[in-house]
A and B are shown apart, each in its own frame.
Chain A
Amino acid sequence: MTEKKTIKKSSLDGLFRALKSGGKRVLAPVEGNGRTIFREVDSYNGVAAGYIQTTLSAKDALLPRCEEMLRFRTEQSTVTMEQGPAAPAPTVVFGMRPCDAKSLAVLNAVYLKDYNDELYRARADATTVIAISCTSCDEYCFCTSVGGSPGDTTGSDILLTEIDGDAYLAEILTGKGEALVAMAPDLFAAAGGAKTKPLADVKVQFDLKELEKKLPGSFEGPVWITQSLRCIGCGTCSYVCPACTCFDVQDETDANRGMRLRCWDSCGLGIFTLHTSGHNPRDVQSQRWRQRIMHKFSYQPDQLSVVGCVGCGRCSRACPVDMNILQHIKDIVEAR
């Protein structure tokens, strides 16, 4: 059903304005102060271009770092529930990379399986993704090793790919994508023979099937300690990861009004599994590192039929101590 059109780069500002006046909140990567992050923008001016990867993924749009779950009021011994969080604003996320768009499948698998997480679903439903395929990559990228590619359409509503003449080929992939185009139909032209620029050459670095086969048997192996000796146990890898979904729940109050908040959490932090009694099922960092790899590359494929990693390379780029996930995985696959 994919329809192909083109849009000039110079028309993007018009598109942003049309979306904005059509009631959409537009999030796009903005560079500054040493970071490129998705922020709400009014126009295309100032939107970053040429980034290989944003510092943080656009996960904040679907699974905010801090989100209201419910609201209540207490009066002496009674509690009343108050009107919950407002419906999320219709949002367009512009400029995700295809790997990030693919990560939405992981979020969907976690949040919509068995128990339907309405908070997540409302945001997912309200979000339209305009991704841009990659024409460049760096040594941290490995999307092709985990089933993706620089031009993968999974998860995108519209995928833009650079063509000659300062324009993008727009693949309109879903009904949501069509609805966006309908908000500014004049800015899109027929694709007729548009030739896309070559995409980034991301080499396949390991055999995913081999890794999935190998992991269950290597639980007790020495590799986890060896690899994680230098791990300092922060949560950076999880928080920059587009596919990490674990969260914490915190109550906060102000006089007699209260809120239950959900916020990101990380299996890399010791307190994540710590019991009140002091017992900790994952007491040392090597166990937590193992959990990270096992969860993404063994448990999730097994239980949710989805790989919990999209190969964006953010964790490796951001890691303070060079815990390069690609290198570590290669070492695991190659270990005898």
Chain B
Amino acid sequence: MEEKNVYQPYLMRIAAAIQETPDVKTFRLEFINEEDRKNFNFRAGQFGEYSVFGEGESTFCIASSPTREGYIECTFRKMGRVTKALASREVGDTLGFRGPYGNTFPIDQWKGKSLLFVTGGIALPPLRCVIWNALDTRENFKDITIVYGARSVQDLVYKHELEEWEKRGDVKLITTVDPGGETPEWKGQVGFVPTVLEKAAPSSADTIALLCGPPIMIKLTMPILTKLGFSAENIFTTLENRMKCGIGKCGRCNVGKYFVCKDGPVFTFAQVNQLPPEY
């Protein structure tokens, strides 16, 4: 007779952990309860609330692709109370997960188009979900271009996957690090993402752009994308506001009449431009 408490997380076991950078970690989480695993599904762009019991919950996107079933992955930077606690957890430990929440990237509508991913630092994880989703259904898309930058070589996340993408013939990957962040062995570009993007000048014809990064990067990259011929309707991003509930109740992520958690987090820049600047 008792209905499910919407705030009750699934119990998850850490199946694998990767130290991406000195302060960024990726966990692969598997459902402890078989029933939960069977009933669970999500789509690219959705997020969840990850619990460290006793410390609280933290919000991240699901960084793995829905095409890879049976587990989810999350990538986070050690920053506050919960992420510090998360970072101290190890393979085999139990965490909580609530979700999936929020809207999705309309990948189905992008069939037959090219995709351009522009991202920096810790903002790659939300797009990684889409990248793998697209790569796992590669036949549905034309060109796939990824422009990814970080402060330094050390700060690049998913280093192994970057290598893998590099080696694949069907992805054009441009990696860059900020001036001064390169190492002697660094073979990628040196420079800020907007500059590198402008130089690479990918075509906007029949292309969807996905832009995700720190506010300053977004601010400087938007004019470049516009110059390259992208309309605001064809540039997608995922917003990140402080959240507690993830389901439109706690009130934190309210921007204008929308809740980033419920009506987002995926928005086109045409939509973002209509929002009050409170994100």
In the complex, A touching B, CB below 8 Å? yes
Query: In residues 78-97 of chain B, which contact A (Cβ within 8 Å)?
Result: 79-80, 83, 90, 92-96
**Is the CB–CB distance between A299 and B244 below 8 Å?**
no
Instruction: Out of B5, B53, B90, B254, name the residue touching A118 (CB < 8 Å).
Output: B5
Distance from A220 Cβ to chain B, minimum over Cβ atoms (Å): 9
Against A, the Cβ 8 Å flags (1 = close, 0 = not) of B237-270 are 0001110110111111011110000100000000
Complex: A272 Cα to B252 Cα, angstroms: 6
Comparing A39-47, A136-144, A192-200, A250-258, the segment that makes contact with chain B is A250-258
**Cβ contact of A84, chosen from B5, B79, B256, cutoff 8 A:** B5
Q: Is the CB of A273 within 8 A of B57?
A: no
Docked pose: A290 CA to B155 CA in angstroms: 38
Per a CB cutoff under 8 Å, which of A78, A115, A272, A274 touches B6? A115
Answer whether residue B279 sits at the interface, using C-beta atoms and an 8 A cutoff.
yes
Neighbouring A residues of B3 by C-beta, 8 Å: 116, 118
**How big is the B interface, by class?**
35 or more
Is residue A226 contacting chain B, with contact meaning CB distance below 8 A?
no
Complex-state Cα separation, A219 to B274, whole angstroms: 12
Contact, CB under 8 Å: B245 / A249:
yes
A74 close to chain B: CB less than 8 A:
yes
Interchain CB contact under 8 A, B92 and A275: no
Chain B, 188-215, contact with A by CB distance < 8 Å: what is the 0/1 string?
Answer: 0000000000000000000000000001
Specify which chain B residues have a CB less than 8 angstroms from the CB of A74 in the assembled complex: 53-54, 94
CB distance from B98 to the nearest CB of A (A): 11
- Inter-chain pairs besides A79-B53, A260-B56, A275-B240, 12 sampled, C-beta below 8 Å: A72-B54, A118-B5, A251-B54, A258-B53, A260-B7, A265-B251, A267-B254, A273-B242, A281-B241, A281-B242, A281-B278, A299-B256
Which A residues fall within an 8 A CB radius of B? 69-70, 72, 74, 77-79, 81, 84, 110-111, 113-119, 219, 245-251, 253, 258, 260, 262, 265, 267, 272-277, 279, 281-282, 287, 291, 294-295, 298-299, 302-303
List 19 A-B residue pairs with CB atoms under 8 Å apart, sorted by A's residue number.
Answer: A70-B5, A77-B92, A77-B94, A81-B11, A111-B249, A113-B248, A114-B262, A115-B6, A219-B276, A246-B251, A247-B250, A248-B244, A249-B244, A249-B250, A251-B55, A260-B7, A262-B7, A272-B251, A281-B242
